[in-house]
Amino acid sequence: MKIIKLNNETRKEILNTLATRSHTDNDEYTKIVNDIVENVRLNGDKAVFEYTNKFDKADINENNFIVTEEEIKEAYSLVSDRLISIIRNSIANIKAFHECQLRQSFFKTEDGIILGQRVLPLETVGLYVPGGKAAYPSSVLMNVVPAKVAGVKCVQIATPVNSEGKINPNTLVAAKEAGADIIYKMGGAQAIAAFAYGTDMVKKADKICGPGNIFVALAKRAVYGSVNIDSIAGPSEILVLADETANPRFVAADLLSQAEHDEMASAILVTTSDTLAQKVKDELNAFIEKLPRKDIITSSINNYCYLVVADSMDDATKLVDDIASEHLEIVTKNPFETMTKVHNAGAIFLGEYSSEPLGDYYAGPNHVLPTNGTARFFSPLSVDDFIKKSSVISYSREALEPVYQEIVDFAKAEGLTAHANSIAVRFE
């Protein structure tokens, strides 16, 4: 890790380095994924089972592909009552927050005109839950709960198995508690393809959501168009914007909370205080020696950690907007005021007791967030991701007659005479 002074040159260095973290620009992996997707499209369940055997070393077939109630019951026996209680509390918070996002259909009527918008939930969604370096029951909650709040009828989950054909029990309990309808034992690109095209045993999804590794990301990109997707998730990232009032030990701990995800994760401090930057560096070094995921953290910190010192808070917030981080913590004397100067971030955490893991697990707002700078134009996963909207238009003859000639003339101006005729014929 290094402490650097913010200027035009270092700004470019940081942005260029972060841009290299995109893992979807890989021709070798793209070909592998495209072959998998095409095989599943053509051969369905047979291909899914073959890839599960090849990649996960598990004998999965039509008899054990879908998780049974017996397996879920077994999972409950392996999960502590304490964790089950925490999961339920987290679900309550997530549900309460996402219920505030619900949209209503509306209609506006005036003199023979009815205009409106009809809001309906998607019929079927496919949610991917990673199961590689770690299991993420929190991701189950963040995907399933808003889908259920939206009213999705069939919520399917795909998650990898171990060599014994088992799914992490924490994941199964979280899925059951959140209300998932079907859980499949499949992972990787083959799971995404199965959701996209459907198989004899997997219902074709209207949308696929959820993070994953490079194979999952590339598969989502490959099937987009045949099915909708949430986004192509990149490596995790955190940015802490702080002034001299921040607690360096808290800041260092928060930076490492994302660095432990994987070697490509980024952790950045932007501050107006040289003293804070140095103290945070010292705390980082001390923490790293004690944390179990030291190797992953060290790789992330060495490659994608910056401790940036800016001359002013205005300069600092401009860099924050350029980076558009997935997670942004603001730890300043007046964080709410500082927030008004920032425009680009996936989730914003205000004050020294609002650390990023609060959002990951418990507070309620979704932790599925835009990465790789896409917070400039993307939003967190929400109820809106699981609905569709239709416009409603109804004119009576009396409402159309005063304006029909304007529509006819507009259509003729575009050279679309059949459009014009469709209106004019009603007044011959």
* 28 labelled catalytic: no
| Tokens coding 16 | 């260029």
394 phi and psi angles, rounded to 5 deg: -145, 120
* 327 labelled catalytic: yes
The answer to whether 116 and 391 have CB atoms below 8 angstroms apart is yes
116 phi and psi angles, rounded to 5 deg: -165, -175
Please give the single-letter amino acid code of residue 194: A
For residue 385, count other CB atoms closer than 10 A to its CB. Answer: 23
Q: What's the Cα-to-Cα distance from 342 to each of 14, 313, 398, rounded to whole Å?
A: 18, 11, 50
The catalytic position among 23, 98, 261, 327 is 327
First-residue to last-residue Cα distance in the chain: 78
* Beta-sheet pairing, 106-110 with 113-121: antiparallel
- Paired with 227 in beta bridges are 224
The catalytic position among 326, 329, 352, 356 is 326
| Tokens coding 81 | 């009552």
The answer to whether 107 and 137 have CB atoms below 8 angstroms apart is no
Burial 159-171 (b: 16+ CB within 10 A, else e): bbbeeebbbbbbb
Show which residues are catalytic. 326-327
